[in-house]
Each structure stands twice: as C-alpha cells, then as structure tokens.
Amino acid sequence: MDRRPVSRSIGHVGLALVIAFGVLAGGAGYWQVFRSPDLSSAADNPVVIAAARDVVRGQIVDRDGKVLATTKRDANGDPYRVYPDRSVSPIIGYASRRYGTAGLERSYAAQLIGVTDPDPVRNLLKKFESNPSDPQTLTLSLSLALQKAAVKGLGDDRGAVVMLDPRTGEVLVLASTPTFDNSAIANPATEDKGFAAVRDAASQPLLNRATQGRFVPGSVFKIVTAIAALGSGAIDATTTFPNQAKAERDGLVVNGFRIREHPGVPVRTFDLAHATEVSSNIFFALTGLKTGGANLADYAAKLGFDGNVGFDLPVAPSQVTNGNGSAPGGFVDEVELANASYGQAETFVTPFEMALVASTVAHGGILMKPHLVTALTGRSGTRTVAPEIFRQVISPNEAAAINAAMVRAVEGNLGKQFTPGAAVPGIVTAGKSGTAELGGKGEPHSWFIGFAPADNPQIAIAVLVERGGRGAQRAVPLAGSLLKTYFDTVGR
Amino acid sequence: MAVVSVAILIGSISLALAQRDPDAKPGGLEPAEPFHLAVYLGVLWLAHIAQVLAGRRTDQVLLPAVGLLGGISLLLMERLPQNLVVQTLGDTDLGLADVQLVWLVLSIVLAAAIAVVVRSDRWLRLYKYTWAAAGVALLLLTFVLGTEINGQRLTLSFGPVSGQPSELLKVILVVFLAGYLSENRSLLVEQSTRVGPISLPPVPYLAPMVAMWAIALGIVVVQRDLGAALLFFAVFLLLLYTATGRPGYVVLGLILFVVGAFVMYQLVDHVRTRVDIWLNPFADPSGAGYQVVQSLYAFARGGLLGTGLGGGLPLVSGRLPIPAIQTDFPLAALGEELGLVGITAILGIYLVVIERGLRIGAAARDDFRALLASGLALVVGVQAFIIAAGNLKLIPLTGITLPFISYGGSSLLVNGIVVGLLLALSDKGVEPPPPPRQPGRLARLTRRAAG
C-alpha cells in the first residue's frame, strides 16, 4: 500500500506555484521592460494623450531643413499645429485636439511630444528630471522640392509617386493626390469645416494612395514574377519557351482558358530581357507557371508584400492572390496563376510596395528597410537613423539580369515605344511600364517603376496614375521628368 | 526570539509604510491618512499580541506577510480617487480608502479571532457534507435571489449588507475536499482503473467529488463567473494531486479542462468574447479590448522602476484609464507606480504566504490538516495567479480579486478566515487529531466483493 507522505506532494505543488509565479514575473518583465518602449509611445496611450494637451510638439523638417510642421499659439495661448505646404499632407497627417492624429503626427506622437526618449538609458532616468518632456524635432529624408514637383506632375489626377534611395532606403518622395488642407484640421478655429471637407470628399484625400491604396498592377508586376522566377531557379536570363511562338499567335491555353498577347509583340520565342522589353504577357505567364504559385507567393512575401517592412507609416498589405484557392500559394488554379504572373487576376499592390520592388532590383537584390525619419533631435542631442538591410531577396547576379532587362525596356529600340520619355537624357535608365486593365469601361491605371542610373542606381521610383490611361500616356513621362528633376537638384 | 523577529518585521513594515506614505499624495497629506495608517498598524499589532497573550504558538511569518499586502492595499486605495466608492454611514460619506480600511480591520480581527479561539478542527472535519450542502445552498440562493451586476449574478443582498458568496464557497470547497480526500486517500492511491498508459481514479470514489465539483462549476458558469470556476477547478486538481501524489489525475483533469474549455468556447458567447480579447486585445483597443490594453499600457508605463506612488495613471477626460481598477486591476496600478521591481516584490510576498501555508500543511499531524492547510494556501496562491496572469495577458482575463489587495469586503473577510484558519492550524498546541477512521462503507463493500 502506497502511503507516501502528503508532505512530499505538497512540496511538488509548492514548486509548481513557484514556477507559476516565476512565469508571472517573466510576463511582467515582458510588458514592463521588453515591450515598454513601443507600448508607452502608442498614440492611444493615455500618457501620450495627456501630454499632448499642453506640450509644444517638435517640428518636422525635410532633408534640406525646410519646415513641414510647426506650432503656433491661439488667442488663449494654447498651441496648435501649422503645416506650411500641403503637398506633404498625406505623410505628415495632422494633430488636432478634436479629431486626434494621423500620419507621422500619429506614428511619432510620443517622440514629437517628448514622452519617450530615443535613448533607452535617458528614458529610464527621465522620471527623475523636473521637466521630463523633451519634444523631438523630426528630420525627414523627404525632399520638399521633389515632393512638390511630384504633386504638381500628378495635377488633377488621383495617384501616387514614391521615390527612394535604393542604397539606404531613404524615402525622398511619397506623394498622394489629391492632397488636403491639414492646417485647417489642426487649427481650432477651422477644425470642424476642415475635417468635414476631407471626410466627405469623394476623392478620399485622407487615403494615402502611396501606402494605403491597393491597385491592379498590370505589367509592372512582371518584375515581381521575374524576381520569383530567377530567385527560385525556375528560369535564368537565357531561358526560352519553345511553345511561345505559337502561343504568341494563337494565345496560350491554360486549363481551357486562352491568354492573349497584346498587340506589338513579335511572334517568336525570346528570353527574359527581350520579353521585358516588349512586355510579353505570354512569356511571363509561362514563367509564372514554371515558377509555381508557392514560389511566387513566397518571393512576394520576401519583398515585403504583407506591409510589415518597418516603415514609419502604416503600409497596407499587397497581394498576389486572394489566397482563397487550394493550389500552391493560395491560387485557385493555373489560370489565376498565369494571369497573376503578368499583374492581372486578383493581384493588388500599393505604389509603395512597387517602389520597394524596383529598389530591390536596383540595389543588387537587397531590399533596404524603407524609412522617412532620418534623425530625432531634442535637448538631449540628436539620434540618427542608420540604413538597415531588410532582406537579401535575390542574388546580385539575378538582380543584374533583371536590371539589364529593365534597361532594355526603357532604352531598347522596341522598349522605347512603350516607355517614351522615361529615359533621363545622358543617364542610363531602367524601368517597366504598366497598363492595368480594370474591366468594364474607363481608362486603365497608368504605372511605371524604375531606377537610374542603371549601372549605379541612386534613385528608384514608382508612379501610379488612377485611370491615367496606358502606362506610356501618363506615368512614364511623369517618372522621366521627376527622375530628371532629381538629377538636376538632389542627385549629383 | 521569534516574537522579536516578528516585532522587527512588523516594525520594518510600519517604517516602509510610513516612508512611502508622503509620496502617496504630493502636495499635502490629507488628515485622514496618518489616522488610517495608525489604525491599520495598531490592529495588526493587536492581532499579533492577542495570539501571544492567548498562548498560541502560531506561525510567525504569515500574519506580517499578509499585513504587508494589506498595507499595500491601503496605500493603493488611498492613492486612487476616493469617489470610486462612496458608502454613506449616517451623516458621513466614506470614500474608497475609508471603506477598505474598515474591511481590512475587520478581516484582521476575524483572522486573529479564529487564530485565538479555534483549538479544534472537529467542526470542520466531521461535517464536510453539511458544509458542502451549505455551500451549494448558498450558491443556489445567490442564483435565485442575487442581484445582477455587470451581467454576473454574484451578489447577495440582505438589506444594507451585501456580499459575494462564491468567495466563501472556495473555503467551503477546500474544507470538503480536505475531509473527503483525507478519508479516502489510501483508496484513491491504491485502486485504479487502467486505460492504456493512464491510470484512472477508481470511479465509485471519485463520483461524489466530481459531482460536487460539477455542481459548483455548473452553477458558477451559469453565473458567468469564469474566474471562480477556474479557481475551483485548479484548487481541486492540485489538492487531488497533493492527496494522491499521482500525476495521472492531473493529466486526466487537464484533459477534462481542455475539453470543457473548448465546449464552453463554442457554446458560451461570454467565454468566447473573453478568449478573443485575450488572443488579440489590440484588435479593438478602444472597445472590447480596452480594459486589457489599458492594463498593458499601465504596466508598460511603469517600466523597470515605476513612476512612483501617485506618479502614474494619467487621467483620460477626468477618469482613470482602467475601469474596475480597484477590484480587477490593482496589479496594473501597482505595476505602473512601483515598476517591475515592485511587481516582483509583491509576487514574492504572495510566494511567502503560499510557502507558509504549505509548510503548515506539510508539518501537520494528519492528512486532514495537511490537506486543509495546503488547500487554503492554494486558494490564495491560485487566485492571485489567475488575476495577475489575466492582468498581464498570460491567460484570459477573469473578474476575480487579488487576495488581500483588491477592494472588496467579501474577498477580504474570506481571506481573513483563510489566514485565521492557517494560523490556528499552525499551532502545535491544538487538540490532537482523532485516530484514523475506518474507510468508508462503500470501500468496505468493494473490498469484501474483491476479497
């Protein structure tokens, strides 16, 4: 008969409780130390809301020191925000007592108010200071001059332009049109009218089209397909498809569905560079089928399609498919995969994500972590944000092959017909235009992504004009002129 | 010697309390606060002296440790806005700290009274089924006559007096389990039905106990009091293991728990909501997840060292950010103002209380007392764990109190009873236990059948 003393199992129970309480202490440590910085700077944390009422927020300035956001005081002496140039309104957002915050004013609320210090040690010691608030001035990599040029270029159209330095991930332009009068929302005297004007507008100015708008990509998506195909080893730069010539003439039959080529593509078999130059749907459909849905979805994820790329503003997720299907990668069947491979089907992307795709090809297959804020300056000094590698997506050789193909698309004899005006005079430019068919009536979305100079890329660009017509009509010449402006002003 | 150490410990507690006190309200102390402190410490001292004078050789650490937790509670209630609770007594309005002080004092007095008066456990040992019946009756009464607060029917009101009987029920459950398990312990250990690698408990002996558990659990779930259900079940399992020393029972219990939890999640909206909030409170930070998110924000604001007493909890539109902070989230408030260091210390004090209780159990002269003492310690420990883990998003949040710290009369009084019983059990001078009883009639029958 087992008569082990009860005291022994009491010891076990005691040990279990000690472990359980150890877990509790660990949990407290997780929230109080490990997660403390990001939770304490959340825009809806009461400490941030409370501090925001009477603290003068730090300024926001562009790369040249031009003021993008500053503070004035009303008749009662209460501070309110003023935004000198509305071309940056989708980035800066607003800080209003009544309507809360948006944009960088939201994501950097804690730093602008100064409730958290970028330096963890100072943050810890802060509670011992008499005036703990140390509002930070944000310096952005943004170029106000280029931003204004982009907004002016988009004109009355709705659209977006993203330009970034592929070597560092610094964003120079993040334009979304229409812009809005964020000063009117921040000013207590005009806040109601100002907010009502943008909230009810059919053009949805509060939607940052660059980071939050999701659009059918059309042919610019072929670069994603190329990245997946080369990266997974499904094809190389010399791969050709023997059945292509016939498909170019009669259409490519996938599971009984016939994919047709657009006019102007020669009826023969050719490789990646040639296919990119003439923007062959058939070639990229065949490439996508060979690559497979799993690889396509996988490489899209590697390129940051889920939107979690550590950017300073929230980025909507892009997608290659709804993911409802049971075929690899979430595709419904090979028909969807083939169509997605040249940017139709259920493919939706943000202009920001397509700029990252161009940037990855430009920087030898390395995607740098994109960022807007390059420095935070307060009483305690300046902390700069260093460039960071987000991921090596493909090898330099594979990137070089796509780079060469994109040069052909802009500089090649046939390519020029699709991309008139993209090339910057005197500088070898790489790119890909896109015409996103939306079905039904109306103009397609006009796209261009690219970078320059092709042999040593300094700037990557993505341009989207909603319902702007064929790529060549609207996005391509705008991209060309913005690249030229870049090299005339910022670039050396 | 022991008395001296207690004196020193209590002295240091009083010093610590006094030192912390000025920080509690920067910009002037309210006159009531030194009075609160004096009353509280005075009663704590008296409780100790009463035991010494009565000649009881009770545990020397338990009361000071509990007293420290109560002191933290008093400080916290003084720090929170007093208008969270207002009780009118005659012409005077009593605020949060006043009311809490009254309950703390009553609770200590109750503990001391039990520790001094109770010298025999016969009244608990012999009438376990009566106690169980009384507990169930109490619950049924609550269910029929109870007042509904926040969608939970937990409160029983008699005129001006109201209380939450499920608090008392947990003590009754422990008394019953201790009685039942100690009587049938050898049989539970000895006999088993093997199914594959798992040895199951002998069915006839577990049946009444499982029934008791199921009744309690069922009523509690009908009352939507998940915290109490979780507490009862955990204490039940731990006591079963303590009595039998067989992990198989715990495994079986956990399987039952997983099945039960899954069914509840599917069937009961209330449970599903709680679990969904737990999985991702940030999905709806200003709606369903508000309380939990604000709790985590409070912990995060505290950081390593805390903001200092009175230095945290920024008001949102004139209100504290966390609803029900004084009952359900005192740990979040303490976490903000005392930091990780303070939280770790508080968890440490709970471990001291648990350790003392289990030690009393391990040193007890027979199984009933061992199980009773460990059961009482487990009630405190498991309850503290459940609500602390809920505050820290380690498990879904359930609305039970943090023992000795949360605001609330029922909780404090019942925990006073727990401490009193533990103190009484710790005295080596209590009446010696009766000789082991013959196994139950059922056991004799089966044994005869087997033989």
Report pLDDT digits (tens) over B381-391.
999 999 999 99
pLDDT tens per residue across span A410-451: 998 888 888 888 888 889 999 999 988 887 778 899 999 999
Nearest residue of A to residue B366, measured between CA atoms: A6
The larger pLDDT score, comparing residue B442 to residue A161, is at A161
Query: Cβ A3–B244 below 8 Å, yes or no?
Result: no
Contact by Cβ (8 Å): B349, B160: no
- pLDDT classification of A86: cutoffs 50, 70, 90: very high
pLDDT tens-place string over residues A310-355: 999 999 999 999 888 888 888 989 899 999 999 988 899 999 999 9
Instruction: Give tens-digit pLDDT for A159-186.
Output: 999 999 999 999 999 999 999 999 999 9
Question: Which pLDDT belongs to residue B169?
Answer: 84
C-beta separation of A186 from A94 below 8 A: yes
**What is the Cα–Cα distance from A426 to A421, expressed in whole angstroms?**
13
Higher pLDDT among residues B332 and B166, named by residue: B332
Asked if A13 lies within 8 A of B374 by C-beta distance, the reply is yes
Set of chain A residues whose Cβ sits within 8 Å of the Cβ of B294: 46
Q: How far apart are CA A427 and CA A479, in angstroms?
A: 14
Is some CB atom of chain A closer than 8 A to the CB atom of B87?
no
Are B200 and B194 in contact, with CB atoms under 8 Å apart? yes
Q: Which residue has the tokens 């000094």?
A: A381
A32-56 mean pLDDT = 77
Task: Note whether B408 contacts A: Cβ–Cβ < 8 A.
Answer: no
Q: Which residue of A has its CA nearest to B358?
A: A10
Helix (H, G, I), strand (E, B) or coil at A421: coil
Binning pLDDT at 50, 70 and 90, where does residue B33 land? low
Centroid of chain to Cα B384: 6
- Record: contact B301-A17, CB cut-off 8 A: no
Query: B355 contacts in A (CB within 8 Å)?
Result: 14
3-state secondary structure A68-114: EEEEEECCCCCEEEECCCHHHHHHHCEEECCCEEECHHHHCHHHHHC
Average pLDDT, chain A: 88
Which structure tokens are listed for B18? 């006094």
Cβ distance A32 to B347 less than 8 Å, yes or no, reads no
**Does B7 score more than 80 pLDDT?**
no
Flag whether pLDDT at B451 surpasses 60. no
Q: In this complex, do B308 and A127 lie within 8 Å of one another by their Cβ atoms?
A: yes
Mean pLDDT value of segment A47-72: 85
Mean pLDDT of all residues in B239-253? 81
pTM score, two decimals? 0.66
* Percentage of residues in chain A having pLDDT higher than 90: 58
> B58 — phi, psi (to 5°)?
-95, 175
Query: Buried (b) or exposed (e) across A136-164, using 16+ Cβ within 10 A?
Result: bbbbbbbbbbbbbbbbebbeebbbbbbbb
Residue of B314, B381, B392 lying closest to A17 (CB–CB): B381
Q: Which residue has the higher pLDDT, B132 or A362?
A: A362
CA distance A246 to A294: 27
Shortest distance, CA A40 to any CA of chain B (angstroms) = 6
Q: Residue A177's beta-bridge partner residues?
A: A159
SS3 A444: coil
- In this prediction, residues B191-219 reach a mean pLDDT of 63
Using an 8 Å CB-CB cutoff, list chain B residues near A46: 294, 297, 313-316, 321
* pLDDT score recorded for residue A2: 42
* Neighboring chain A residues of B385 at a CB cutoff of 8 Å: 17, 20-21, 24
Q: Is the pLDDT of residue A395 over 60?
A: yes
Cβ contact, residue pair A50, B315, below 8 Å: yes
Give the ipTM. Answer: 0.84
Determine the Cα–Cα distance for residues A304 and A357; give it in Å rounded to an integer.
9
Interface with chain B: mutation pick from A9, A34, A117, highest number of B CBs within 10 Å: A9
Confidence bin at B60 (pLDDT 50/70/90): confident
**Smallest CA–CA distance from B245 into chain A, residue:** A9
Asked if B314 and A50 come within 8 Å (Cβ–Cβ), the reply is: yes
Q: Where are the beta strands (DSSP E) in B91-184?
A: 92-94, 147-149, 152-158, 161-163
Structure confidence at residue A277 (pLDDT): 92
Tell me which chain A residues have a C-beta less than 8 angstroms from the C-beta of B367.
Answer: 6
- The residue that leads in pLDDT, B429 or A341, is A341
| Residue B348 confidence (pLDDT) above 80 | yes
Q: Which residue has the higher pLDDT, B145 or A21?
A: A21
B340 and chain A in contact, CB less than 8 A: yes
Among candidates B242, B311, B385 on the partner chain, residue whose Cβ is nearest the Cβ of A6? B242
Nearest CA to A432 out of A238, A279, A245, A255 is that of: A279
| Residue B138 at interface with chain A, using a CB cutoff of 8 Å | no
Q: How far is B112 from chain A (nearest CA, A)?
A: 25
Cβ pairs bridging A and B (under 8 Å): 150
HSE-up (13 A, CA, CB side) for residue A239: 19
Query: String of b and e for B284-301 (b: at least 16 CB within 10 Å)?
Result: ebeebbbbbbbbbbbbbb
Question: Does residue A90 have a cis bond before it (omega within 30 degrees)?
Answer: no
pLDDT on residue B2: 46
* pLDDT for res B158: 63
pLDDT for position A392: 95
How many other CB atoms are there within 10 angstroms of residue B127's CB atom?
A: 15
Checking if the pLDDT of A117 tops 80, the result is: no
First-to-last C-alpha distance (Å) of chain A: 90
Region B223-244 average pLDDT: 84
CB of B284 within 8 Å of a chain A CB? The answer is no
Closest Cα of chain A to B212: distance in Å? 23
Which pLDDT band holds residue B96 (cuts at 50, 70, 90)?
confident
**Is B311 part of the contact surface with chain A (CB cutoff 8 Å)?**
yes
Three-state DSSP class for A439? coil
Strands A137-140 and A60-61, how do they pair? parallel
Q: At what angle do helices B165-190 and B409-426 cross, to 10 degrees?
A: 40
For A251, the 3-state DSSP assignment is: coil
pLDDT(B3) > 60: no
Residue A372's pLDDT band (boundaries 50, 70, 90)? very high
HSE, CB side, 13 Å, CA atoms: give it for residue B433: 20
Contact B316 A49 (CB under 8 A): yes
Query: For residue B433, is pLDDT > 50?
Result: yes
Nearest to A21 among B238, B286, B347 (CB): B347
| Confidence grade of residue B81 (pLDDT, cut at 50, 70, 90) | confident
Residues from A contacting B (CB-CB < 8 Å) are 1-4, 6-14, 16-18, 20-21, 23-25, 27-29, 31-33, 35-36, 39-40, 42, 44-47, 49-51, 124, 127
Q: What tokens were used for B254? A: 């956990």
- The minimum CA-CA distance between A127 and chain B, rounded to whole Å, is 7
- Chain A: give the shortest CA distance to residue B341, in Å: 9
Do B82 and B96 meet the contact criterion of CB atoms below 8 Å apart?
Answer: yes
Residue contact B241–A35, C-beta within 8 A: no
**Is B350 an interface residue toward A (CB < 8 Å)?**
yes
- Percentage of chain A beyond pLDDT 70 is 95
d(CA A401, CA A24): 54
* Banded pLDDT at B19 (limits 50, 70, 90): very low
Which segment of A334-343, B75-84, B321-330 scores lowest on mean pLDDT? B75-84
Query: How far B281 CA lies from chain A's nearest CA (Å)?
Result: 13
Task: Give me the pLDDT at residue A366, please.
Answer: 96
Question: Each residue of B216-229: pLDDT tens digit?
Answer: 667 666 777 788 88
